[in-house]
Chains A and B, each alone.
Chain A
Amino acid sequence: MNIYGDRGNIAVLQKRLEWRGYSASITSVGIGDEFNPNNFDFCYLGGGQDRDQMLVAHDLGKKSAAFLSAAKDGVVFLWVCGGIQLAGVGYTNSDGNRISGVGILDLDTSAGSSRLIGDLVLDAELEGDNCRVVGYENHAGRTFLGPDATPLGSVVKGHGNNDTDKTEGAIQRRVVGTYMHGPLLPKNPWLADKLLSWAIEHKTGETPTLSSLDNSLENLAQQVAISRAGMKR
């Protein structure tokens, strides 16, 4: 849906694979296109303007079963902003109308009366490993997690999923949903590499050891963003 620099997330994933000697093939999928998520290792969905999201929700809903089986199989999903909403059970808009989600994350969203906008800093945790993650949020939706989903992290600065329980994002198996953009991955190489190793594992059946890359620029950018968010390092 192409509104928040999603291209940046794809560029980061692709380059970090290439720099390690892997190659990636990227398929862009539009409304009405035929595709089976089970044939991929990584599925990315960004956010969009409200009307575009309605159209996408309708289209993706038709493939719900395929997404569920892909998620079960360990395909990696990163669905951002509008994406986290579509990943859930459903979305109730400000008129009270309900849109069904794809159901790969146990969460539900309703439109709030105001937009939650600003810098977002999290203590994120994935498989017992944790790291600070920084980004930016801009969403009217208020998302609440059900028992089967774990938050991506706890909010250190910002609003998060619903501005009340200090959670941000959601993870279930290898499905990650989040409101963080910026875009998310350039300044958060730890997260990018985590997702990449999951994707490689899905492809090869083995957990890879990724060679380390020089992340000094990424780390500097992350530090600056965290301090711009009004926090000391």
Chain B
Amino acid sequence: MRHIALSLAKTAGWISRALGRGGGTTLPGMILLKLRPHTLDEMAQELEDGVIVISATNGKTTTARMVSHAAHESGITFVSNTSGANLPSGIATALLRRNPDEKLGVFEIDEAALPELVPKLQPSVLVLMNLFRDQLDRYGELESTIQKWEEMIKSLPDTTKLVINADDPALAFLGSLHQNVEFFGIELTHYGSKTIPHAADSLHCQKCDGPLSFQQVTIGHLGHWKCQNCESQRPNPSFAGDKINLQGLNGSKFIAVSQTGPLEIQIPLAGIHNVYNALAAYATCSTIGISATNIQKGLSTLSAAFGRNEIINFEGIELLIMLAKNPAGANQNLRTLLLEEEKIHLAILLNDRTADGKDVSWIWDVDYEMIVDRLASLTISGDRAYDLALRFHYSGFPTASMHITPSPQGLLEHLKSSIKTGEKAIILPTYTAMLDLRSELNKMGATHSFWEEQ
């Protein structure tokens, strides 16, 4: 019975790709799970080197890719769902496709799906990086996600190692509920700020409900926090990021300090959010015994994941695509852009399909005002382009200077005709807009299909 179920499911994937309907990264899994619901538990158990699970609002795909790349440097064969299909069907599809010699599982998992999948996958390492307000219409509220994660952690066996971001107050609290835990975090840095941004959530102590004070914030509510009412405070990270040097849009450098001493890490990805991702990856790889040299090498030779700081050459123009799907991520992208000295050609695509979140009100919590004076041009696109145009209209940006073109083809045509060869354009799409854009670029021969990568 199992053999038949697996065959049917595998065929579905092949058919899906043959019909050109996307990468077949979730359909086989969906079918398999319908035919044989315990399949996930069984397939995961076959992985002799265990399963690493990574979850967060932002950074899952990049961190999973970093871990996979370091594992690869180390000669470890692994199975992963690197194409970003991070719901149960995506995990099942990845496991279905696994080669028998792949012994380690590295999976990024959606925050809402995590509590359901953890008992099935029984990870040896569970990495929790951040929880920001995201896709409210899917998750209801941040607090309920935290509660569900709390129940999940209370049922974890002691053998599961938790790798947790000390800078996230809610996650640090969850880490305190489990014996087997490592913390990572960023030390005091001049890139941090003393003021909490408008879009920040999670500003009360998970233990006593008291107000939190911050010595430093880096992104949203992440930083050096302390409860004003009880003794809760940021735990000392065993993997700390220090002496950070953000090199514009080209990359980042920092020292990772751990029990084994300091290690210089250079990554080709921009922005302090990628320093967090690299720290999480470093902590995870150390936990499973990958050597410092291989971690360093893996991180420095990494290419950007699909749509996460991805650079595509299009008709002589360099397109830098940075996924932006919630206020914390979007603000972080904008702050990263501010590291550039030249004026920026910016294109933003806003969709409201299920995977993007149908409620687009989040764009009003993004501080677009910070880049309004730094723009060489602004192109607005996507199914909800006019909502975005309104957002900029009410920020005082002149309507006459906006170029509005809802379709991705229109966007690319406009960039082609308005930007000089050799120049750079930054594109901030939501998730499905990124997929549409990628598909258009693929048709024009500028890049390969996303399921063909690595």
Contacts and interface: CB of A to CB of B under 8 A. Distances in A.
Contacts of B363: 5
A44 interface: no
Contact of A228 (B141, B383, B394): B383
Interface in B116-163: 133, 136-137, 140-143
Contacts of A7: 198, 364-365
A8 B394 contact: yes
Interface in B299-355: 352
A2 B198 CA distance: 8
Given A5-B363, A49-B141, A49-B142, A12 B136 contact: no
Interface stretch (A96-104, A145-153, A164-172, A218-226): A218-226
B383 A183 contact: no
B413 to A, nearest CB: 21
Interface in A143-163: none
A138 B138 CA distance: 10
Given A50-B143, A228-B352, A221 B389 contact: yes
Contact of B136 (A4, A15, A221): A4
Contacts of A136: 137, 358-359, 361
Interface residues of B, number: 32
A221 B364 contact: no
A220 B388 CA distance: 12
Contact of A138 (B133, B359, B362, B390): B359
B287 to A, nearest CB: 34
Interface residues of A, number: 31
Nearest to A15: B394
B67 to A, nearest CB: 32
A174 interface: no
Given A115-B140, A217-B393, A217-B399, A11 B386 contact: no
Contacts of A228: 352, 383-384
B390 A218 contact: yes
B379 to A, nearest CB: 15
Interface of B: 133, 136-137, 140-143, 198, 201, 209, 352, 358-365, 383-387, 389-391, 393-396, 399
Given A8-B394, A187-B387, A217-B393, 17 more contacts: A2-B198, A3-B133, A3-B136, A3-B201, A5-B362, A5-B363, A6-B364, A8-B361, A49-B143, A51-B209, A115-B140, A136-B359, A136-B361, A217-B389, A221-B387, A225-B387, A228-B352
